[in-house]
Chain A
Amino acid sequence: AQSVTQLDSQVPVFEEAPVELRCNYSSSVSVYLFWYVQYPNQGLQLLLKYLSGSTLVKGINGFEAEFNKSQTSFHLRKPSVHISDTAEYFCAVLYNNNDMRFGAGTRLTVKP
């Protein structure tokens, strides 16, 4: 079965420190990859996506992610986080053009 694994359920980090949120997925021939952010009491918002081309993709709010096909990973990074980045982050993989699977989420807490 297709699955998406977010390796850390919680990531605490100090303000202005770098952060990496890890995501691995079960291999498939055709995948498209997404990261979503969920702020408290809100729905999920698209942060960035990988469809094809350059394996390093940039999204909103200074986030970027790197697609690694051999490692079946799509890790999210930010070089310097802000308090306002505190949220839950979801990795999602679209399999076979119409089967979207979500990871369990990583709660990022940025401390002053």
Chain B
Amino acid sequence: DADVTQTPRNRITKTGKRIMLECSQTKGHDRMYWYRQDPGLGLRLIYYSFDVKDINKGEISDGYSVSRQAQAKFSLSLESAIPNQTALYFCATSEPGTPLDGYTFGSGTRLTVV
């Protein structure tokens, strides 16, 4: 099994719908992140969590919310999806403290909002 698992892998949804993207990890890492990837823009941080009770906004949090249900689970929600939220979404984890080993990424969720 993958260290970081994202579900679903692909999703098409309609404008205005609520959608949740899920992430679970077996790394035992405390820190978890949600990024979106857009062509030519690289990865941009949406939210991050350093432990279950610590959740922080990233650079593009508007229109998104998150829930850290357990150390291993971190979900991203779009309360009312809009077309410009069409993107590839990645969950990542890192060790506590300074992440000198970098991040471990999931395989991504491709979301299309029509």
Contact = CB atoms under 8 A, between A and B. Distances in A.
Contact of B102 (A92, A97, A105): A92
B8 to A, nearest CB: 14
Interface in B97-114: 97-103, 105-108
Interface in A37-56: 41-46, 49, 51
Interface string A1-31: 0001010010000000000000000000000
How would you classify the secondary structure of chain B's contact residues: helix, strand, loop or mixed?
Answer: loop
A34 B102 contact: yes
Nearest to B103: A100
Contacts of B35: 102
A45 B101 CA distance: 11
Given A32-B100, A98-B98, A43 B90 contact: yes
A90 B43 contact: yes
A36 B40 CA distance: 16
Contact of B108 (A34, A43, A92): A43
Contacts of B98: 32, 94, 97-98
Interface of A: 4, 6, 9, 32, 34, 36, 41-46, 49, 51, 90, 92, 94, 97-98, 100, 102-105
Interface of B: 4, 35, 40-45, 90, 92, 97-103, 105-108
